[in-house]
Amino acid sequence: MVRLVTHNLLACHVKGCTTNNFPLAFQDVQIELQEAEFNPEFVKNLIPRLEWGALADAAKQVGDTSLPPEEPDMMDDDLLQKLHHVLLEIHVIEGAMVCPNCKHVYPISNGIPNMLLAEHEIG
């Protein structure tokens, strides 16, 4: 499933596409919400692994504006809840992700991103 946590970890890997190849932009997405158990400690531990700006922006692209555009200095429980929802409960089911640099389109179908490249695109 393309949860936003997964989206935050994927970059374009077309041969030679090495700058401005993250974050991929969502295109024509359908989303589904699926409740997940809230573990504040887990969400807190994930923060250092995230690109906050990319996450807040991805959330906005799928219609969720609950995160501040920049990582706040203080994390209260309310914000952790919001982060939990954005990261782990929003599932992109259909659509595509587009590289901001080379414009390569990675389709998402049945909740699975297809990041395969053709032979000549592999680095």
Partner 1 sequence: MIPTPDLSHLTQTDFVHVYEPAEDTFLLLDALEQEADELKKHPPLICLEIGSGSGCVSAFLGTILGPSVAIHLSTDINQHASSCTLATGRQNKIIIDPVTCSLAQPLLTRLTRSVDILLFNPPYVPTDTEEASIAQGGGGIAGAWAGGASGMEITDRFLKDVDGLLSDRGKLYLVALKQNDVSGICSRMLTEFNLQSKIVIQRRAGREHLFIIRFSRPNRCS
What residue ranges bind partner 1 (CB under 8 A)?
Answer: 1-3, 5-6, 8-13, 21-22, 36-39, 42, 45-46, 49, 51, 88, 106, 110-117, 119, 122
The conformation of residue 23, written as its DSSP 8-state character, comes to: S
Nearer to partner 1, 38 or 52 (CB): 38
CB atoms within 10 A of CB 102: 15
To the nearest whole angstrom, how small is the minimum distance from the Cβ of residue 122 to partner 1?
8
Nearer to partner 1, 39 or 69 (CB): 39
Rounded Cα–Cα distance for residues 106 and 104 (Å): 7
Rounded Cα–Cα distance for residues 95 and 80 (Å): 28
To the nearest whole angstrom, how small is the minimum distance from the Cβ of residue 76 to partner 1?
20
Nearer to partner 1, 33 or 112 (CB): 112
To the nearest whole angstrom, how small is the minimum distance from the Cβ of residue 97 to partner 1?
10
DSSP track, 60-88:
HHTT---S-SS--S---HHHHHHHHIIII
